[in-house]
Amino acid sequence: MKSLEAELADARDLDVTAIADAIESIGFECTRCGACCKAIECGDEDAGDGAADEHTATVFPDEIRRLQGADDEYDFRDVARPMPYGLSEGADGPEGETFEWSLQTDDCGDCTFYTEDEDGMGACSVHGDRPLICRTYPFSVALGGTSQPMGEAVDREGMVRAHECEGLGREIDRAEAESLAEALKERAVRELEEAIAVRDNYDPVEPEPGEVVVHDSEGQKRPDGTPLDR
């Protein structure tokens, strides 16, 4: 297995033209269905036991600050929540240690920045500042240490993986494919840089009952994004 540093070197060497070729071959056009921004329905709704897994999309610390806005339009918790993986449900809610942040969700489990018009067409209220994982969906790069959003890939062309999306297979403009390819390479590099920094800054703690500790590239933090002082 390659080290994260070796994977990062590979990510930095990725050929944007080759990535764009792969995206063009697979094909993609956003249909604004909103599936990638909403909670994932699970269970048998006809039987009355339908449930939903909350929308979960990784967001980096600097992306959180950008989404907060230059004038602090949003509080930290308006933008992000601790990644739920690794946390357990205590008497007063989630508790334990986790790594990284996920975009905040609303009461329905959808991304808090997701909106729909009267015709049911989806939109992002922070589209210009949306995180890299949102900019590049439904694609990812097949390098160790990078994430696969929304589960396993349903198609693959070289290093490029495509994940479940009704927009796959549609014709894509070359300029758009190249822009997407550039963002995809940037995301692969950022994910690996973040993973290395999380590893290097990791300092195990023993959370108190009812406490959540988040480890990110900048150290240990509380759910509101402030540093954890022990």
The mean pLDDT value for 117-126 works out to 89
The mean pLDDT value for 143-170 works out to 91
Q: Give the type of residue at 66.
A: R
Q: What is the structure's pLDDT at 92?
A: 84
**Above 50 in pLDDT, residue 81?**
yes
- The Cα–Cα gap between 218 and 208 comes to 21
Residues whose CB falls within 8 Å of the CB of residue 116, separated by 6 or more in sequence, listed in order: 34, 122, 123
Q: What is the mean pLDDT of the chain?
A: 91
Q: What is the structure's pLDDT at 67?
A: 95
The mean pLDDT value for 158-176 works out to 96
How would residue 216 be classed by pLDDT, with cut points 50, 70 and 90? very high
| Angle 56-178-3 from CA coordinates, rounded to 5° | 55
How would residue 50 be classed by pLDDT, with cut points 50, 70 and 90? very low
Are the CB atoms for 87 and 98 separated by under 8 Å? yes
What's the Cα-to-Cα distance from 115 to each of 59, 138, 157, 187, rounded to whole Å? 19, 19, 32, 24
Higher-pLDDT residue of 1, 33: 33
- The Cα–Cα gap between 51 and 133 comes to 25
Query: How does pLDDT run across 178-189, given as a tens digit for each residue?
Result: 999 999 999 999
The mean pLDDT value for 71-88 works out to 91
How would residue 48 be classed by pLDDT, with cut points 50, 70 and 90? very low
**Above 90 in pLDDT, residue 138?**
yes
Closest by CA to 99, choosing from 190, 204, 208, 4, is: 204
Percent of the chain predicted with pLDDT > 70: 93
What are the DSSP E strand ranges found in 65-211?
Answer: 80-82, 88-90, 93-99, 101-103, 114-116, 122-124, 139-141, 155-157, 160-162
Residues whose CB falls within 8 Å of the CB of residue 206, separated by 6 or more in sequence, listed in order: none
pTM, rounded to two decimals: 0.89
How would residue 147 be classed by pLDDT, with cut points 50, 70 and 90? confident
**Above 60 in pLDDT, residue 176?**
yes
Instruction: Give me the residues paired with residue 201 across strands.
Output: none
Tell me the CB-side half-sphere exposure of residue 56, using CA atoms within 13 A: 15
The mean pLDDT value for 98-125 works out to 93
